[in-house]
Structure 1
Amino acid sequence: MTKSSKKIITPSTFPLSSEKFFSYKNIFAIMGNKSFRAWFYQAVLGVLIILFSHWLYTNVVDNLRSQNIATGFGFLHHTAQFSIGEKLIDYSARDSYARALLVGLLNTLYVSFWGILLATVLGFSVGIARVSKNWLLARVAGVYVELMRNIPVILQVIFWSVVIRNLPGPRAAIELGGMGFLTNRGLSVAVPAQHIGWLWCAIALLAALVISIGLKLAARRLRERHVRVLPVGRSALALIIGLPLLAWWLSGSPHQLNRPELNGFNFRGGFTISPEFTSLLLGIALYSSAFIAEIVRAGIQSIPKGQLEAARALSLSPWQMMRHIIIPQAMRVIVPPLTSQFVSLSKNSSIAVVVGYPELANISNTLMNQSGQALEVIAIMMVVYLTISCVTSLLMNIFNRTVAIKER
């Protein structure tokens, strides 16, 4: 067979009539081209998706119109007419549906933030304990992991809710050293009273953290350039402790506390953590911490034994080995699967509906029942959770680039 006989016949190559061009032989030759087949199948699939989406949309719109249900997002400006128990911003029943959704979103972000923080601390602690040479500590950590990750998260949330609900009432509260009370209404703790000095302390603490991070990054650059090694740990700790103390002293040394006091059937004053928030936080954090512990264990065990033997030869203590050799190298293995756990924890916050915590999914259910705009509310929820997941992944990818090994 000659080389020219393998070429695909097209109207541009030969002046053939349409009957000859669309003959079975030419069609088979065109379909035999791998590149053409790939584009053809993708085009067919795209057309089918568009047709199915159009049919689905028209079917839904026709059914809604037949039931006299309006479509669109204009209902978000209507009055909500329901109250929300826990909120981070001002809200009343006279506000709009849009503000109610905003309250739910902020509550979702709030519980997700503290859940990620608690799960990370517990997960790293248990993961390090899993590889400990202490037999009892390693076995206890193993039992914790197997227990927490094999019980469904929704059952854990319900379990903690039942435990908290069975605590004593406010009149028989468990006193916490005069600084708070634990009851079936939640945990009430003393907080600093309103004073400008506490604001300056918070600003000083934030400034100390920023300066400490800057010192750490500068020390890392110097170490990577083989200039010198600067120990900044103690300096950063002194800044974090000393700068807020200096601001506290210069602002008059405020020491007044707003303590919770029993007033009627409940405590007033201080800061109260609700049973719903506590049970949800403990459930999702403990569940995710078990998976994070296994991720940390795998990351630590991925370090070559030769690295550990070299560290022991340099007379490094176990803490120095963990801080300077094991964890920095294990992070490149830990961070990618850790991102998935953070995303899963954020999405698991939607089970708050079983304990009544007013996060996004719970408030969205109320909106659907009152407004009847189920499709629009579900679409909003999908976009919000997708955005949270994408932002979490983006931030973790940025962090992953900072801990990845730099190739020369």
Structure 2
Amino acid sequence: MSTPSTPPKKSWSWRSQAFRGLIYQVVTVAVIVSVVLYLAHNTNTNMKARGIQSGFDFMLGGAGFDIGESLFPFDSAEPYWRAYLVGFVNTLRVAVIGIVLTTLLGTLIGVGRFSRNALVRGLCSAYVEFFRNIPVLLQLLMWYLMFTELLPDSSDPLVLGSIFLSKGGLNFPIPVWAAGHLWAAWGLLAGVVVAVLYRGRAQRAFEATGRPRSMFWVPLAIVVAVGLLGWLLGGAPTAMNSPVQGEFAVENGGALTPEYLAVLLGLTVYTAAFVAEVVRGGIQSVALGQSEAASALGLSRGQSMRLVMLPQALRVIIPPVTNQYLNLTKNSSLAVAIGYPDVVSIANTAINQTGRAVECIAVIMLVYLSTSLFTSVVMNWYNTRSAIKER
């Protein structure tokens, strides 16, 4: 009868590879920490010798400047940290909406590269080659000039129903807030949960029977129906705050400034060109036999692309698309070139007023580092969830 073998004891001798590796890691970390502390101490000493103040105490002082665009009220007497919060929210407005629009546009163009229609293929190819080969800063300036030079003045805007478009931006109706809108929001959230459960069940049924079910229209109908039910239960509020033509400009309603529109469209069309190429490469990586097998099962070309090709291509698409999402978020810092008040613009103003350059730049770095890491965590989770499971 054999006795269970005991694990070998750890050796603390220099001859042990594990021990040497541990020592090397400890020494490396110690050197890095020492260098960082030395640089920080040296910088602080030199700044004191030159009479330059340091520290983040200025964040509690009054900002002393107004911000032209904000989702919540901001007064010049409010502290710097609140001004940074406004810039951070403005950056998120561009990044989050830009990622959604980029995903939709890039996927459509990437799939369009496989169209049987030569005109559609040609237009998609021309789009990719045109927009990805022009620097993004020039594209932002192009869109900004289009909004501020080619559109009519605010006193004589283009009118499409209740929507006004002019050099002052885009004005549109918005609901007058009521309790029913909160009910509708909860209904939409519940509808999303139900739609996700339906999609999972439909996917399992398709894998078991081979009979495809709607993976888009039915979930969309569920979200809309449950959201509508919540709106009805909340009293069905219908009051709208619509824009009206004033003496010099459009008043009331919701508004998007030309700076925001230029940044959003510029980053979207630029990044979508790269996403389209990623989608095209991912689809081409799927074996041709998969498409032939889908056709043999009686699936249409659209069903084959949506249910067979794209799901298998996701394992190739998601990692490089994540890089494009990160690039879009970081490229939003170029918005300062056209006057959009993002976090970089707020930091530049704070540097000019306080002289705390190191601190202000550190805040910018923290903002982009945190948003990029959060995006990476979400996409890595989705990549793991979408990976093909080996049996």
Q: Structure 2 length as normaliser, TM-score?
A: 0.89
Aligned-partner residue type, residue 156 of structure 2: A
- 2:106 is aligned with 1:119: no
> How is 1:2-401 mapped onto 2 (pairs within 5 angstroms)?
48-166=31-149, 167-176=151-160, 178-221=161-204, 226=208, 231=213, 233=215, 235-401=218-384
* Equivalent residues of 2:171, 2:250 under 8 A apart: yes
Matched position secondary structure for 2:383: helix
Matched position secondary structure for 1:172: coil
Following superposition, the deviation at residue 68 of structure 1 comes to 1.8
Matched position secondary structure for 1:83: coil
Following superposition, the deviation at residue 245 of structure 1 comes to 3.3
- Looking at structure 1, the residues matched to 52 and 235 of structure 2 have their Cα atoms a distance apart, in angstroms, of 62
Matched position secondary structure for 2:177: coil
Between the two proteins, what is the percent identity of the paired residues? 41
* Equivalent residues of 2:155, 2:246 under 8 A apart: no
- Looking at structure 1, the residues matched to 264 and 276 of structure 2 have their Cα atoms a distance apart, in angstroms, of 18
- Looking at structure 2, the residues matched to 361 and 251 of structure 1 have their Cα atoms a distance apart, in angstroms, of 41
Following superposition, the deviation at residue 265 of structure 1 comes to 1.5
Superposed CA offset, 1:80-139 (max 9, x none) = 111111112232111111111111111111110011011111100100011222111111
Superposed CA offset, 1:131-167 (max 9, x none) = 2221111111111101111111111111100000011
Following superposition, the deviation at residue 252 of structure 1 comes to 5.0
Following superposition, the deviation at residue 318 of structure 1 comes to 1.0
Matched position secondary structure for 1:316: coil
Following superposition, the deviation at residue 248 of structure 1 comes to 4.2
- Looking at structure 1, the residues matched to 344 and 129 of structure 2 have their Cα atoms a distance apart, in angstroms, of 29
* Equivalent residues of 1:368, 1:377 under 8 A apart: yes
Matched position secondary structure for 2:362: helix
Structure 1 unaligned blocks of 5 or more? 1-11, 14-29
Following superposition, the deviation at residue 201 of structure 1 comes to 2.7
- Looking at structure 2, the residues matched to 366 and 305 of structure 1 have their Cα atoms a distance apart, in angstroms, of 56
Matched position secondary structure for 1:171: coil
- Looking at structure 2, the residues matched to 56 and 66 of structure 1 have their Cα atoms a distance apart, in angstroms, of 15
Aligned-partner residue type, residue 296 of structure 2: A
Aligned-partner residue type, residue 279 of structure 1: A
* Structure 2 CA distance for partners of 1:208 and 1:54, relative to 1, 3 Å: closer
- Looking at structure 1, the residues matched to 225 and 196 of structure 2 have their Cα atoms a distance apart, in angstroms, of 16
Matched position secondary structure for 2:75: coil
Give the aligned length. Answer: 378
Q: Which has the larger radius of gyration?
A: 1
* Structure 2 CA distance for partners of 1:372 and 1:256, relative to 1, 3 Å: same
Following superposition, the deviation at residue 70 of structure 1 comes to 2.1
- Looking at structure 2, the residues matched to 384 and 251 of structure 1 have their Cα atoms a distance apart, in angstroms, of 38
Superposed CA offset, 1:351-372 (max 9, x none) = 1100111111110111111111
* Structure 2 CA distance for partners of 1:91 and 1:323, relative to 1, 3 Å: same
- Looking at structure 1, the residues matched to 297 and 16 of structure 2 have their Cα atoms a distance apart, in angstroms, of 63
Matched position secondary structure for 2:170: strand
- Looking at structure 1, the residues matched to 38 and 234 of structure 2 have their Cα atoms a distance apart, in angstroms, of 67
Question: Bigger CA drift: 88-97 or 211-220?
Answer: 211-220
Matched position secondary structure for 1:175: strand
Aligned-partner residue type, residue 83 of structure 1: D
* Equivalent residues of 1:219, 1:229 under 8 A apart: no
Following superposition, the deviation at residue 193 of structure 1 comes to 3.0
Following superposition, the deviation at residue 311 of structure 1 comes to 1.1
Structure 2 unaligned blocks of 5 or more? 1-11
- Looking at structure 2, the residues matched to 282 and 75 of structure 1 have their Cα atoms a distance apart, in angstroms, of 35
- Looking at structure 2, the residues matched to 156 and 404 of structure 1 have their Cα atoms a distance apart, in angstroms, of 36
